[in-house]
Amino acid sequence: MSDDDTGPYKILDEMPPTPRLPGSVSLFDHADGAIDAIGLDIVNQAKACVRSFGDFHLALSGGSTPMPLYQRMMIDPAFRDMPWRRTHLWIVDERCVPFEDERSNYRQIAELIVDHSGIPKSQVHPIHAYEPDADALYEDELRETLGWREKGHDRLDFVLLGMGDDGHTASLFPHSQALRVDDRFACFNRGPQVTPPDRVTMTYPLINSARFIGILVLGKKKAHMVHRIATGADPVRDIPIKGVSPIGGEQRWYLDSDAARWG
């Protein structure tokens, strides 16, 4: 099938089988379906958390995959119920560059969401990754803000992750030092295994304590890695996203058919 045949209205003749990934897997013909589904899950989780706790803690990733989702959440009436005024917005990982730099995740997320959603600025939590103690500062901010909640509920409510075609997620790169951090919520990640520039990233303990982890993986470039995760026995140090495993929370993958089709 040529790329021209895969426009949004084309029904695929055959869907690939759903890959057996840890957690649950939602598979869609097209990227649009996956984007809608994760967006609606964010809104539903947000409404439930606001009802239960009065607020909602959402951590967003950078990368190119979720940008159409962020855009759609601002303009599509299907997402108009999103309680932005009760939402705290966190950043999963950040490049060690100033916010003005076009590689800054915060810059991209701010342009798409912060500037248009009506979220109070005091509830937006960028990582100041260019500061020498950015990781400790972020950890303090997380502990202080989540600490307003009752013990046990003091965790992120929704962490949205992407995946690189090397199996990295957040800024947890294969064989990098941040994979070994088990006593902090955020840390720098540097060294030859890290795609430059240096990063600050949320760690496994923080990500895995979340109430809901949504992993959005789209496109055929990711199909090889999806297949390896579903069928192989590679260790976490080779495929860091395999270290994502919520303790008492829920994990869901949102895939399009291109990401699920292999062989």
Burial of 74 (0-12, 13-18, 19+ CB in 10 A): middle
Q: Which helix (H) or strand (E) holds 51?
A: helix 31-53
Residue closer to ligand 6PG by CB (options 26, 153) is: 26
Residues 178-217, mask of contacts with ligand 6PG (x by CB under 6 A): ----------------------------------------
Q: Rule CB under 6 A: choose which of 22, 63, 197, 243 binds ligand 6PG.
A: 63
**221: nearest Cα among 31, 22, 1, 73:** 31
Q: Rule CB under 6 A: say whether 167 interacts with ligand 6PG.
A: no
Q: What share of the chain is helix, strand, coil (3-state, %, to 5)?
A: 40, 20, 45
Which of the stretches 7-15, 42-50, 55-63, 182-190 binds ligand 6PG when contact is defined by CB under 6 A? 55-63
Burial of 81 (0-12, 13-18, 19+ CB in 10 A): exposed
**124: nearest Cα among 136, 133, 112:** 112
Q: Rule CB under 6 A: say whether 170 interacts with ligand 6PG.
A: yes
Q: Rule CB under 6 A: say whether 61 interacts with ligand 6PG.
A: yes
Q: Rule CB under 6 A: choose which of 93, 135, 139, 258 binds ligand 6PG.
A: 93
Residue closer to ligand 6PG by CB (options 81, 101) is: 101
Helix crossing, 31-53 with 67-75: angle to 10°? 60
Residue closer to ligand 6PG by CB (options 86, 222) is: 222
**135: nearest Cα among 98, 172, 188, 99:** 188
Residue closer to ligand 6PG by CB (options 164, 249) is: 164
The residues facing 87 across adjacent strands are: 56
What token pair was written down for 44?
């539903």
Q: Rule CB under 6 A: choose which of 27, 69, 92, 186 binds ligand 6PG.
A: 92
Q: Give the nearest distance from C-beta 53 to ligand 6PG in angstroms.
A: 26
CB atoms within 10 A of CB 7: 8
Q: Rule CB under 6 A: choose which of 169, 176, 209, 251 binds ligand 6PG.
A: 169
Sites of contact with ligand 6PG (CB under 6 A): 61-65, 92-93, 105, 162-164, 168-170
